[in-house]
Amino acid sequence: PSKINLKDYQKPSFAVETVDLDIKLYEDHAQVASTLQMVRQSAGDLVLFGEDLALLAITMNGESLSSERYQHRAGKLTIADAPDDVTLEIQVRICPQTNTALEGLYMAGSGDDTMFVTQCEPEGFRKITFYPDRPDVLAVFTTRLEADKRYPTLLANGNLVEAGDVSGTADRHYAIWHDPTNKPSYLFACVIADLDVLTDSYTTSEGREVTLELYAKSADIDKCDVGMQALKDAMSWDEVNYGRAYDLDRYMIVAVSQFNMGAMENKGLNIFNTACVLSSPETTTDARSFSVKSIIAHEYFHNWTGNRITCRDWFQLCLKEGLTVYRDQSFSADQQSSAVQRIDDVATLRAHQFAEDAGPLAHPVRPESFVEINNFYTTTVYEKGAEIVRMIANTLGPVNFRKGTDEYFRRYDGQAVTVEDFLSALSITDSKIEDFIDWYRQPGTPVVTGHQDYDSDTQTLTITLSQKTRHVAGFDAPKPLPIPVATALFERNTGNIVAERMLLLDQQTQAFVFENVTSEPVVSLLRDFSAPVQLNYDYQDEDLAFLLEHETNGFNRWQVTQMLVNRILLQNKGEKSSPDIYLHALAQTLPTLAAEDAMLAARLLDIPSAQELASAIPQDYDPEAIKAQREGLYQQLALALKDEWAELYKQLPIQAYQDSADARGRRALRNVVLDMAVTANVAGAAEWAQRQYDNASCMTERFGALKVMVNHQLAKADDYLADFYERFQDNDLVIDLWFSVQASADTVTPDDITALLIHKDFDWNTPNRVRSVVGAVASQPTVLWTADGLDIYTGVIKKLDTANPVLASRLLQVLARWNTLAEPRRQMAHEQLLDLQKQVSSKHVLESLESV
Ligand code: B3K
Ligand code: ZN
């Protein structure tokens, strides 16, 4: 498969002014007629893209085009000598009923319970009709949908213009939608279904009355209130924080159970994975429900950052995604403790993005070439992209950042632009912001090393920091990047902050001097994780324990516990630290913190996941050893605080369900305490778990208890698993939890996984179900990296390779860590991957295997 390069970008030769689409859905196929009004912009061929389409007819300016007039090859239809003004009329036939790739127009569900939805980003529109399917071609769309009345819900982007019966038929109807905004084809959407709707309204700061509609199956319509409220919160948040109001009279969200990712921001018609929009206390954990709100906000925020200002080409994906993730993270930080929000975002970044940046699939936030753009919806583009925007925002400060984003919207509204355009708008108050461009170009996680020298005679403290980024093959030698390091100095005697500064490390090595420092302080660095780097500072374990006690920055209290754990488990040069200081410091902190901020307390007790620990191991990674050490430390922690658990658990009783930050914090801590108590063999703890399950007021409590029973193989675990299945067998999303709690159990074996994959409720056509088992395996490296584990995993990839290559390739990315394994696992994994390479054919999967 051929590579596409950023440097080869060329403007399209033709613009599209209007598109009229007519989609007629029949029992086993659909007919799509389109009329495109096009105007020449520059010399060159008229190029349309099309995949999996049967071309029935094509006319240009009223005349039928014979096949000599165009070339149709490898997904491209090229007309060499088109006039300057062109009206193209195209008729194609497609088959949504057999479209398992879930791109373009496809059928979800089965039997009597089916619906039809689209997913066009990035290049799905070309599976609906021939079109210049690229993000820099913006047009006004009018869409007519026609289908059997069995599907009463007919939706497309924009405003409903007309609807009615199809004359001459008894059972068919149609609807016509018009979207007045210019948009790229990847934002097109339509839905043909039988859905209920929850309706609400919102009046924007500009006085526009917006109708809000959330569509779901009738059985799920009672789980739409959380999402609806989140939508209204997001609309008002964007007005207050970015001055952006909604621009159409209608905003629709549709829930679909078969979807490759979380959700999609189609103009005025978002399509959501049911897992990312449905929420109710009885069926949804707090963590899930919180992420529902943030995904609703994310898709809503795209209306400005993505839809009104879009990407010139797919290399610029981070332009919309990095900025929008930054915006949804900021929104979420306003809905809970901002320290906990930051902890969760950073833990995800470290576990997944750092691993990606350290492995063979490392790429810049703005890639320079790709074979299949779907492979670049990565944590690097999204989460590292968001970190760059955050560094820029923190460097500018709130007032100048807002001036910059205002300028961005003013200059580029309605256009398809680049990362350079973004930086140029953001730098109106500070030209140094343009230097952040290297963060977009250079792959690899910078490592910042440092130490301090205190001179008591002159009362100066000098902090010396250096940076180094690994040289990723195929890229230029790394340059020093601008790295903002938020720093505070703490007086040892009092624990007070004596100085606070943002250090900007933008050379390879720099010394930063603090004057009038009367005694040697403890330095806290990278507060709130001010840059996405690995930090190796010359700390004593005691300094870290000191900071756990005295830091006022909640994020950094967590960060020092993570540093201590890393020193205990991973230190490779010199001695490993003894756990005593860590255990003692936590024992001191926990009782008070549990009462003050239960959610933060729960996070401090976290020992990084096996995956996160693995991401810091560059070679000779031994999953068994890491698992044993991690469990050993967890056990020590549980035992060190053994006398506290009963008291803490008692202080956190089950209460009537409330969706407040405080109540969520108590529920999170209760689940952690329960697990600790069972680990430490506290008398009666197994019964606490049963009682918590039986008396649960919500899913967080019930699932938390079930998880403890399953992970610790408590006597009644199987009965409770059976009960859980019984209770929730009609709810697919809960049954996904039932699969995942088993597949990710600490004690799971390859045979258990195989049994789940052939369970009667396992369904290869539902990505949520596949991920609930296969995604869970990835969280157990001791199972994944065995001959049997890899057989299962690569078997899954083979099975999905042609049916759903986007999903297959995504699941495959986890295996990129093979080359860090210790022998003999490394060799074994390598052979399995070489073998896999011979048995797959999608360009998605092949590209992900290129580095093997
Ligand atoms: N923009 C979509 C992602 C589309 C992924 C296609 N493989 C969702 C989002 O980031 O909001
Ligand atoms: Zn997005």
Alpha-carbon gap, residue 77 to 71, rounded angstroms: 6
For ligand 1, what atom is nearest to the CA of residue 374? 7
pLDDT digits (tens, 9 = 90+) for 635-653: 999 999 999 999 999 999 9
- Among protein residues, the one whose CA lies closest to atom 3 of ligand 1: 264
Helix ranges restricted to H, 42-116: none
Ligand 2 centroid, distance to 315 Cα (angstroms):
15
Say yes or no to pLDDT of 615 above 90: no
The domain locations on the chain are 4-194, 310-441, 448-531, 729-852
Beta-bridge partner residues of 524: 488
Ligand 2 centroid, distance to 262 Cα (angstroms):
9
How far does Cα 185 stand from its chain's mean position? 23
- Which protein residues touch ligand 1 with a CB less than 6 Å away? 121-122, 261, 263-265, 298-299, 302, 321, 374, 377, 806
Q: Across the chain, what does the average pLDDT equal?
A: 97
Nearest 5°: the CA angle 638, 642, 647 is 120
Structural class in CATH, domain 448-531: mainly beta
Are the CB atoms for 742 and 721 separated by under 8 Å? yes
Q: Is the peptide bond before 767 cis (omega within 30 degrees of 0)?
A: no
Sign of the dihedral through C-alpha 306, 308, 311, 314: positive
Three-class secondary structure of residue 282 per DSSP: coil
Looking only at the bridges linking them, the beta strands covering 14-25 and 139-148 are parallel
Nearest-10 crossing angle of helices 554-569, 541-550 = 150
Average pLDDT over residues 18-26: 98
- Among protein residues, the one whose CA lies closest to atom 2 of ligand 1: 264
Three-class secondary structure of residue 68 per DSSP: coil
Fold annotation for 4-194: Immunoglobulin-like (2.60.40)
Ligand 1 centroid, distance to 827 Cα (angstroms):
35
- Among protein residues, the one whose CA lies closest to atom 7 of ligand 1: 374
Average pLDDT over residues 741-765: 97
pLDDT digits (tens, 9 = 90+) for 342-386: 999 999 999 999 999 999 999 999 999 999 999 999 999 999 999
For ligand 1, what atom is nearest to the CA of residue 302? 11
Ligand 2 centroid, distance to 328 Cα (angstroms):
9
One DSSP character per residue, 632-670 reads HHHHHHHHHTHHHHHHHHHHS---S---SHHHHHHHHHH
pLDDT band (50, 70, 90) for residue 574: low
Ligand 2 centroid, distance to 689 Cα (angstroms):
38
pLDDT band (50, 70, 90) for residue 573: low
Q: How many CB atoms lie within 10 A of CB 839?
A: 12
- Give the pLDDT score at 427: 98
For ligand 1, what atom is nearest to the CA of residue 295? 11
pLDDT digits (tens, 9 = 90+) for 710-721: 999 999 999 999
Name the closest ligand to CA 327: 2
pLDDT band (50, 70, 90) for residue 611: confident
If one residue of 118, 121, 273, 807 were mutated to test the ligand 1 pocket, choosing by the most ligand atoms within 8 A of its CB, it would be: 121
Phi/psi-derived region of residue 211, left when phi > 0, alpha when psi is between -120 and 50, beta in every other case:
beta
- Among protein residues, the one whose CA lies closest to atom 8 of ligand 1: 264
Are the CB atoms for 657 and 696 separated by under 8 Å? no
For 729-852, CATH gives 1.25.50.10
Residues contacting residue 687 through CB under 8 Å, at least 6 positions apart: none
- Among protein residues, the one whose CA lies closest to atom 10 of ligand 1: 321
pLDDT digits (tens, 9 = 90+) for 237-270: 999 999 999 999 999 999 999 999 999 999 999 9
Are the CB atoms for 251 and 212 separated by under 8 Å? yes
Ligand 1 centroid, distance to 264 Cα (angstroms):
6
Alpha-carbon gap, residue 380 to 356, rounded angstroms: 7
Would 448-531 and 729-852 be classified into the same CATH topology?
no
For ligand 1, what atom is nearest to the CA of residue 261? 5
- Among protein residues, the one whose CA lies closest to atom 6 of ligand 1: 121
For ligand 1, what atom is nearest to the CA of residue 325? 10
pLDDT band (50, 70, 90) for residue 450: very high
The whole model's pTM is what? 0.98
pLDDT digits (tens, 9 = 90+) for 75-94: 999 999 999 999 999 999 99
Alpha-carbon gap, residue 676 to 112, rounded angstroms: 47
Ligand 2 centroid, distance to 388 Cα (angstroms):
16
Helix ranges restricted to H, 337-441: 338-348, 354-358, 379, 385-412, 419-426, 437-441
Nearest-10 crossing angle of helices 699-711, 685-694 = 140
Name the closest ligand to CA 378: 1
pLDDT band (50, 70, 90) for residue 117: very high
Name the closest ligand to CA 121: 1
Closest by Cα among 351, 273, 290 to 778: 351
Name the closest ligand to CA 265: 1
Are the CB atoms for 90 and 58 separated by under 8 Å? yes
Beta strands, E only, 274-376: 310-311, 369-370
Ligand 2 centroid, distance to 302 Cα (angstroms):
7
- Give the pLDDT score at 763: 97
Alpha-carbon gap, residue 248 to 187, rounded angstroms: 15
Tokens in use for 564? 């201590």
Please give, one letter per residue, the 3-state secondary structure of 744-769. Answer: CCCCCCHHHHHHHHCCCCCCCCCHHH
Alpha-carbon gap, residue 560 to 537, rounded angstroms: 11
| Phi, psi angles (nearest 5°) of residue 451 | -155, 170
The CATH number for 310-441, chosen from 3.30.379.10, 1.10.287.130, 1.10.390.10, 3.20.20.60, is 1.10.390.10
Name the closest ligand to CA 103: 1
- Among protein residues, the one whose CA lies closest to atom 4 of ligand 1: 121
pLDDT band (50, 70, 90) for residue 5: very high
Percent with pLDDT over 70 in the chain? 100
Average pLDDT over residues 61-69: 95
Are the CB atoms for 816 and 851 separated by under 8 Å? yes
- Among protein residues, the one whose CA lies closest to atom 1 of ligand 1: 264
Average pLDDT over residues 275-284: 98
If one residue of 119, 264, 374, 378 were mutated to test the ligand 1 pocket, choosing by the most ligand atoms within 8 A of its CB, it would be: 264
| Phi, psi angles (nearest 5°) of residue 254 | -120, 135
Percent with pLDDT over 90 in the chain? 96
Say yes or no to pLDDT of 577 above 90: no
Are the CB atoms for 185 and 34 separated by under 8 Å? no
Active-site residues, by number, are 299
Beta strands, E only, 469-599: 483-490, 497-505, 509-514, 522-524, 534-537
Sign of the dihedral through C-alpha 669, 671, 674, 675: negative
8-state DSSP, 476:
P
- Give the pLDDT score at 295: 98
If one residue of 260, 310, 321, 383 were mutated to test the ligand 1 pocket, choosing by the most ligand atoms within 8 A of its CB, it would be: 321
For ligand 1, what atom is nearest to the CA of residue 321? 10
